[in-house]
Each structure stands twice: as structure tokens, then as C-alpha cells.
Chains A and B, each alone.
Chain A
């Protein structure tokens, strides 16, 4: 259930892969020597439970690919939390300092630059290829020693990226890929066609590769020095239309196919544009079938959300719908995903606020890594899968735990409880928490929590003692700042 890496799987993959080892390949050695570099980073773990603590440092090593324009393309998770990055050319001992130019967490891609122009002397940028076909042979750069493996393209799927937590297109390969998360390039016919990455939901014993068209979409987004602004999202859920009576009810003719729009996300792309109950019949002119798939030339049958991946934020997508049985063409500008739980992106500085020993954090996907899945109450597990934003709920704010002190006596066992109101003010996002504590009720700070099946529903503390208690607590627990940088 957890969206994290399966370590055992990696070991198994490693064993399998020796089968595919082959060292002699045509001019590829030459390409690799000139266009692949080693990347060394030190990343810092993040402690979402005690977010004021700096996490442990872990050195990581992977690959980068030299692309035209003196840039190095690698995976986001390699450099995401990286404090210091170095790159090294194949066959050379000298390491050069590199820095991150752009990061696309949701695509697991990052672009590095090197200040020292000497670095690029003798290198040769890769040539971008086309999307490989089913059955095409791939050369996969694997491991630390610039070894090469062969595999072939199996099919194209939408998978959940391990780093971004978003559905994205991937090429699946026939066999697993060793060192699948180190950012090394994949070639087909001597041209660069993708980067392997870790994802969730792919079949066992297959590998997954970020395809070249997704990489090109990343470059399109950052063209002209723009900052990468993420993948847009359709912003609705749909239901299959297979039952004949159900089709009749939604006034769709037997010859047509499509999906019912059942839920429109607040503030998402479809908000104010589509209605619940509309039938989606085509996306960009491609008919949507009764199971929510479209058929694309060369790529094959992919889920309806596939095409949105290739749009830039704000670009308009053309949708054909039936509204009350009447066909309509709609141009829908695409917006970012509208989620109640924020992605694991930009995880470098988790948001927190500590007052009177109560640790307030927004519930995020990342936060679920602080404890075992089963230790989260079913309501929170349900939000993980099904939580949607509303006017009343832009974020879920938790009291993650309570740092014990006389002021919070009786509440010190609370853990992971949702806060609904503070001092009578509804809590819809983190900034509401800070504001509400400025308005105590008759000398009390009163917090309403949603935990009545376990602890209770009300927390009251003495507002006049909060400041002193917070100072004492923060000193005891060595908390340098009572809130994260983004709340200052």
C-alpha cells in the first residue's frame, strides 16, 4: 500500500540482470564515454515527524546524460534534497561542481549545469530519438561501471511515479532494470530514448522508463528559462459506461462510447467548465471508449488521462462531451492537480508550527512515512486514497504529536488527530492555525479535534501561559524555530 521503494525487489532485479549483461556493443562505448557522466550527491533525509530536525545525510551516486546546450539531465530524486552535487566524466578522476537548474519532481527529471566550461570539453551531447516501437531493442546503461544491458520494449502504460506520486506515461520493458533509479540513459538505435525510473503498479519482472516524449515535454516546459511548473491534471473522475440501461440514462446512443464525469475537483481544470453527469466522448478528437481509454497511433490504448501529460499548464485541451444528450465541444484550459493531500514534491522544508508543545503539520503524502500504515486511523487512510479539496478543506491539519509540558497535561498521548477549529475559527489550511492562536477565547485557547472515538473532541489550554511554555518546550526539545520557513 505504501508508495515506497521495495528494497527486496531491487535485490531480485539485480540478480536477474546478470543474465542480460553483455559488454561488447557497437559504437555505444563511444557514445557512453562522451555523453554519460557520473553524478555524486549528498542528500538529506527529512524527518516529517520532528520537522525541525535536520535529517541524516546520505551520499548517493548515479548518472547524468549530456544534452545539447551544455546541460546534464538526470533524475529528480538523485538531486532533490541534494546539498552538494559533483559530476565526473567517464574515465576521468576530476570532479566538477554542478548545480540544479530545473527540477520536475512529478516527472522525476532534473537539469544540472556546470560552471566550469572545461567540463564539457571532449563531451558529446546525445541525439534525441523517437519513441521506440514495441519489440525494439534498448540499450540500458546500468550500474556504476558504465556497463550496458539490452532489453526490449514491451508496451506503454500509465504508472504511478515513485518520486512524484503522479500518474505518468512509461515504457515498460520485458525484463527488470538493474539500478533502475540511478538516472542512466537508455538508447535505441544509437539515439537517446529515455531514463529508467521507479514506479508503482507495474507488473513484476518488468522495468519502467521515462519515455523520450515525456522528457521532451519537460524541455518544452522550461523553454526560454521558464521554471518548470508541473504536470496539469484533468481534474475529474469518470465512471465506465458498459451497462445498456446506464447508457440510456445518460442519453448516449448505442453507437457512441464514452465515460460519465462523476466528480469534479474543486479548483481543478474542469471546475466551472464541466458538470457532473456530462459524458466525455472524445479528448483531442480521440474517441474515449466505454472503459475510459483512447487509442493513439503508434502508442496504442492508453487511459484518458494520458494526453494531459503532454500539455503545458494553461494550454487548452479540446473535449467532446454530451450534456443532457446534446453534443458540445469544449476548450478546457489545464490547471495543476487539485489535491487535498499535497504531493511529495518540494519536500525539502516540511511545513510545521509548534505551540505549547502541540506540533501542527499539514497532512501530506510524505507524512504517511512517519509511522506504519496501520497506525494511521482509518479516516486518515481514507483521506489518503479519497480525500478531495473543498471550500472548507484545502488541507488536513494534524496535531502530529504533543511535546509534554505542564501546559498540555492530559493531552500528551494525542497523535495524528485532525484539527477542525481553533478558538472557534475553522481550520482550512496551515495559515489559519497561526491566525487563530492570535484570538484566544476569554484567556483560553480552544482547539476542536476530530478524535471523539478515541480521545475526545476538545482541547483547552491557558492562553496566557502559552508563550512561556512554548519557549520552555522549544528549549527542552531543541527546536530552533517554532515554525517552518514558509510560515515566517
Chain B
């Protein structure tokens, strides 16, 4: 029951309220670990996915961080996402210093900041790294959560180690659960065991759902991040790009040719251009990944007596790495090498620090459908929800292009708000696989008209037709009238 791309139904959304309240009890000022902890102040500007040429509203947040060797600060990506201004404050100081993002890893929710003024690091002590803890190991969480201004330290034990969803990216990676209080403001702060840093506090439950459940990014993920940025660029954590089915039923295993002593999971879908594309096939049985035998329930043995989801090894590898799979294909055993690539799903996961992609033509605002837009909420139309959870990429279907909404004007008269959030199927007879196709298709009108295919016959209709002769002038007028600086986002220029 751990499909690679397990989609998170709304239950995930209340799951992760980031940042934390403290049960305080600061220890005396001579604790050397306190010298490693900093407070981070961020001014962020959320992008506006409804009117993508506008910037969103500004928000002020604070989080925590720790000092790493080499005068760097480690924190969570969500503490500095969409940031336009960042300041840091060390414990026992009153002066804030300006910091800048050096590396941001949204997938594992980690970021590195640098401070230009070397004075900042005077009197700080970089952390030293420990190892992945075991259950019931005592841990201490340092940071600046709500409840006061001074540094807070909370203590608890490791409750659980497994794969779960990182709320910031919706990626499934290893995290560690602790009963040490982790509250808003703790985000990005270090977690220590025996005075060694073993993780970065990052998320918890809303108190109405569960108490004493906090999570931190464990040290293997942190170390992987630090190793990758040594190359000078962060590219991300690979995914396999398959959907899989557990094989707990004896007949199911027999049907696919597994002997009673063999175990594995069934590949039910392979995503176009993913790592598994051209390497694994539907109906392959995956028997081991990267040397770890896969059990019928989709877990692997991780440490003695501990099991973890079979996608765990992907979380410690890099893009371009090759990992071996033992598989059964048409009942024949074989070993397949898979070159790891980035995530290839049709509707991209939430993106940060990016201007939304858009293109305006005759007042119709076209945008690719992604997880930021229009927000997969209760109000999202069911047909879009179904696409979000179910649709697959293919060579002629690399993005879902939507009519976001329409800027009313004489040329698009009659196409009202009913036409919001419609999927574009064709333009001027061309199938639309991505934004590039869309823009190109508008250069090829049919008999002086632009014919746009949509597919909502019950509520709206199937066709939008626009006057191609009047288009150019009308488009300019609309941009001017609505005070829009450009008809397209920078990435399409």
C-alpha cells in the first residue's frame, strides 16, 4: 500500500501545520549547543496564480536554523521559500544580519543561507553531525517557537522512523517522529542527540488532530543534501515514476510466477520519461531495489527489526545514479539497471521561488495546471481533481493547459466566468501538449478564426472561436486596459 506516487487525498492537508509552540525550560546560558542556533526572519511574497503578472501579498514569518561548519546556516526550505528579504539573529545578540539563500532543496525541505558579514559568525559554534537515532533515543529540539522571544529547548524521545509526506513538497521521504514539542517557529531548528545534530525540525500536526507528534528531517537526508551541494548546484531527489501494487494474495503471486519463497510488488503503471520509462514495464514484479529485497507489502528491511517503504533507497541517491532492480518479467528473473531521473508526473508538485507561467491571448489567460493552481481544495472542479489524481503524461500530453480565466472584452464577448478553469484540448486543429504548442498554434488561424477546443459539454460547451484578424489589436488593448505588463511570463519569452 505504498505506491511510489501515492497521491495524498485531502487528509494530508490538515496533517502538516508547520512551526511550533514550546514547553520552555531554557537551560543555563553555558549550554554550548545554544551557540549553534539562530533565529531567521523572512519577508516572503507568495506568487499570485490567479493573476500571474501580479506579485502576491507580503507575509512575515520567523523560523530557526543552525550554524554549519564553513559559516553557513542550515534551515528549512519552507522558512525561506518565496523570500524577498531574510535576516538572521544569533542567540544572545540583538543585531540582525542580512542573509541570502545559497541553496534551496524544496523536495526535502532544506536550505542553506549565507551571511556576508563575517562578524555574524563570531561566537557561534558549528554543529557536529550524529547518526540516525533509534526509537526511544532521547533528543532535544532547539529553536525559537511561538510562546516567547528567547530560545526554547524541548526534549523527548524518538517515537517512530518511517517514510511519510513532506508537507512542503508533498514528496514521500524518510522522517523521524518525536514527542518533543515541535511548534510554529521551530522549523529549521536543529535536533540533537548526545550533543550531536541528528535532524532538522520541520513539521507537526495541528493540535486538534494529534498532540506530542512532531517530525524532523533525519540526518541521512541532511547529509545527502550537503553532499549534493558540494557540486555547486542542487538538482533534487530522484523518483522512480511507477505506480505499484502490493502482492499479499497467494493467487496474485502465483499468477505472476512468483514461487512461494519469492516476494515482491507489481508494477501497474510506468510514467512517461520517468526513471522507470524504458527500463521497467507494466506487470513486472519488483523483487529487490538497490540490493534490498522487497516484501509483498512493499517494505524493505532497513535496520534490524525495522521496516521501511521500498522507495527509501531513492531518497539517498542522486540524479543520474544507476541502481539495480531484480525483477520477474513474464515469469523470467532478470536484473535491470535504472538510471534515476527527476519526478515526471503530469501535474507538477507545488513550486516555489518561480513566477507562474502564463500566456494571455485575446483576454484568455492560459496557464499550465500545477499543484499551486488553483489549489487542490474542496472547491476545485471535480474534473480537474480527477485529472490531478489520475491523468498520466504521454508524448503528446506533457502538461495540462487551462484557461485560468478570461479578461472581459468585446472580442471575447459571450465567454464569461463559466469558462474559467477549462482544460484546452486543441487550438486551430493542433493538439496541445504544452505551453509552447499553445503559443505556436495561435500562429496558424483557420479561415481568419482561432478555434479553441474545450471539453465541458454539459456546463459550458466544446468550442471557443475568436476573430484572428482583430486579435493582435484586441490583445494589445486588453493588456493596456487591464494594466498587464506582458502577455506572457518570462519563461515563455
Contacts and interface: CB of A to CB of B under 8 A. Distances in A.
Given A243-B412, A244-B413, A382-B383, 6 more contacts: A244-B414, A244-B467, A260-B463, A378-B390, A379-B386, A381-B386
Contacts of B465: 243, 245-246, 248-249
Contacts of A462: 250-251, 254
Contact of B248 (A374, A381, A410): A410
Query: Which 7 A-B residue pairs are closest in the complex by CB-CB distance?
Result: A456-B245, A239-B461, A242-B414, A410-B248, A243-B414, A378-B385, A263-B457
Interface in B425-481: 449, 451, 456-458, 460-467
B388 interface: yes
Contact of A453 (B383, B390, B466): B390
A249 B451 contact: yes
Interface string B232-271: 0000000000011111111110111000000000101100
A242 B383 contact: no
A474 to B, nearest CB: 20
Given A262-B461, A262-B462, A460 B251 contact: yes
Interface stretch (B1-9, B34-42, B175-183, B316-324): B1-9
B240 to A, nearest CB: 14
Interface string A144-168: 0000000000000000000000000
Nearest to B248: A410
Contacts of A26: none
Contacts of B457: 237, 239, 262-263
Q: Is the interface of B mostly helix, strand, loop or mixed?
A: mixed
Nearest to A242: B414
Contacts of B252: 410, 458-461
Interface of A: 237-246, 248-249, 260, 262-263, 276, 290, 374, 377-379, 381-382, 384-386, 407-411, 413, 444, 446, 452-462
B415 interface: yes
B176 to A, nearest CB: 26
Q: Is the interface of A mostly helix, strand, loop or mixed?
A: mixed
A458 B254 CA distance: 13
Contact of A381 (B245, B385, B388, B463): B385
Contact of A461 (B243, B251, B296, B456): B251
Interface residues of B, number: 50
Contacts of A377: 386, 389
B10 interface: yes
A385 B458 contact: yes
26 contacts: A237-B457, A238-B461, A243-B415, A243-B464, A243-B466, A245-B466, A245-B467, A246-B414, A246-B465, A262-B457, A263-B462, A378-B386, A379-B386, A385-B458, A386-B456, A407-B251, A410-B248, A410-B252, A453-B5, A453-B6, A453-B390, A456-B243, A456-B244, A456-B246, A460-B251, A460-B252
A249 B451 CA distance: 9
Given A239-B461, A263-B457, A453 B3 contact: yes
A398 to B, nearest CB: 16
B447 to A, nearest CB: 9
B209 interface: no
Contacts of A378: 382, 385-386, 388-390
B389 A453 contact: yes
B329 to A, nearest CB: 15
A460 B249 contact: yes
Interface in B1-22: 1, 3, 5-7, 10
A452 B449 contact: no
A18 to B, nearest CB: 36
Contacts of A374: 10, 378
A444 B456 CA distance: 41
Contacts of A238: 461
Given A243-B412, A374-B10, A462-B251, A454 B386 contact: no
A242 B413 CA distance: 7
A458 B245 contact: yes
Scoring B250, B251, B451, B463 by chain A CB atoms within 10 A of each residue's CB, the highest score goes to B251
